[in-house]
Amino acid sequence: MSFRAPSLAQALLVVALVVALTLPLFASVYYLQFASKVLITGVLAMGLNLAVGQGGMVSLCHGAFFGVAGYILALASPGYDAAPLLTTLPLAVIGSAALAFLIGCFALRTRGVYFIMVTLAFGEMLFYLFHDSGIAGGSDGAFINARPEILIAGRQWFSLDKPLAFYFVMLALTVVVAGLLTMLARSPFGHALAAVRDNERRARSLGFPIFRIRLSAFVISGALAGLAGYFAAAQFGFVAPQMLSWHVSAAALVMVLIGGLRSVTGPLIGALVLTGLEEVLKAEFENWKLIEGLIVILLVIVLAGGLRQLGFLTTSAQREEVAPASGAGHA
């Protein structure tokens, strides 16, 4: 048995984890809440990357999965009391997963650019459904007055109300999700998914059940988006149709791009960079979206120019060549 020296990426991961664990010692509540927000969007981006990076499915309806889970929490919250965490969380995640299954069944009949357009259309359908109907306040959104808690025999055992508790739950969740996705990427399923992405015809002729593999990945990915959406709604105490908008999906895609498409934990860095950037820009400029847009454009142009992967600082579950870029919709 030989001892393998830890790679730079692994060392950095350990450092990041230590910093994350000790953060409450030196950071104020504001930064704790910011860190929680980063972790939540990180879970969304990591989940999305299972579909985009591993599966080659550029989905624009993950915002809808994210938002629907938030709405499920809002609708399940009883008036001014806290919702029970142990029942509403599974409910929200299952709701998002079921939605992903339903949309996936239709959208996965298509490939490439069609898939992008179809997921966009279904996602926005849900946006308008919540926006135009009276569900949970319609276009005004709805408040969640108390954060979810765990109540056993009438006694409160745990509540997400304290920023510190919330932060540690998010940290634990992020680690679990990252571990799960790494295992998934290294599993036979992960390899099959990558095979389907890289060469569908060959994978099909090798006997892989293409549709089922893609759909499974899409549903898991959608469920993770729901997981993130549930906690995002819990943190902000508010849900609005904008949570379902395709702009949420697009922002998560930018995070995936920053972190590296073939990396499991890379999107976390993307989440940190983009969320941090937004926070700074919002504080400094009135027209911060203009600047954010310019930065996104610059990023795309730079990356398209050859530097295809910025995620060199992160652990790659699968070190492999990035498939040659091609207009996949153009057969």
Partner 1 sequence: MSLMTFGIQLLNAFQYAMVLFLVASGLTLVFGILGYINLAHGAFYMLGAYLAYWIVAKTGSFALAMIGGTVIAFVLGVVLERTLVQRLYGRDHLMQVLLSFGLILVLDDARQILFGKDVHAVAPPAWLNGTIQLTDNLSYSVYRLAISAFCLVVAAVMFWVIARTRIGMMVRAGAENREMTRALGIGFDRLNRYVFAAGIALAALGGIVIAPISTVFPGMGDGMLILSFVVVVLGGIGSVGGAALGALLVGITDTFGKVFFPSISSILVYLLMAAVLVWRPSGLLGRGEI
Binding site for partner 1 (CB under 8 A): 52, 58, 60, 106-107, 109-114, 116-118, 120-122, 124-125, 128-129, 132-133, 245, 247, 250-251, 253-254, 257, 261, 287, 289-290, 292-297, 299-301, 303-305, 325-331
Query: Which residues have C-beta within 8 Å of that of residue 266, sequence separation ≥ 6?
Result: 49, 256, 258, 259, 260, 311, 314, 316
CB of 106 to partner 1, least distance (A): 5
CB of 273 to partner 1, least distance (A): 14
Contact between 53 and 227 under an 8 Å Cβ cutoff? The reply is no
Which residue lies nearer to partner 1 by CB, 31 or 211? 211
Give the number of other Cβ atoms within 10 Å of residue 78's Cβ. 10
Which residue lies nearer to partner 1 by CB, 58 or 73? 58
Query: Which residues have C-beta within 8 Å of that of residue 292, sequence separation ≥ 6?
Result: 277, 278, 281
Q: Which residues pair with 208 in a beta bridge?
A: none
Which residue lies nearer to partner 1 by CB, 11 or 298? 298
CB of 193 to partner 1, least distance (A): 17
Which residue lies nearer to partner 1 by CB, 81 or 132? 132
Q: Exposed, middle or buried by CB within 10 Å (0-12, 13-18, 19+), for 313?
A: middle
CB of 203 to partner 1, least distance (A): 16
Q: Which residues pair with 152 in a beta bridge?
A: 155
CB of 246 to partner 1, least distance (A): 8
CB of 96 to partner 1, least distance (A): 18
Contact between 137 and 206 under an 8 Å Cβ cutoff? The reply is no
Distance CA 36, CA 51 (A): 23
Which residue lies nearer to partner 1 by CB, 172 or 298? 298
Which residue lies nearer to partner 1 by CB, 186 or 289? 289
CB of 114 to partner 1, least distance (A): 6
The CA angle 233-239-240, to the nearest 5 degrees, is 145
Distance CA 119, CA 99 (A): 12
Give the number of other Cβ atoms within 10 Å of residue 140's Cβ. 10
Which residue lies nearer to partner 1 by CB, 16 or 129? 129
* Ranges assigned E (strand) in the chain: 142-143, 149-152, 155-159, 238-239
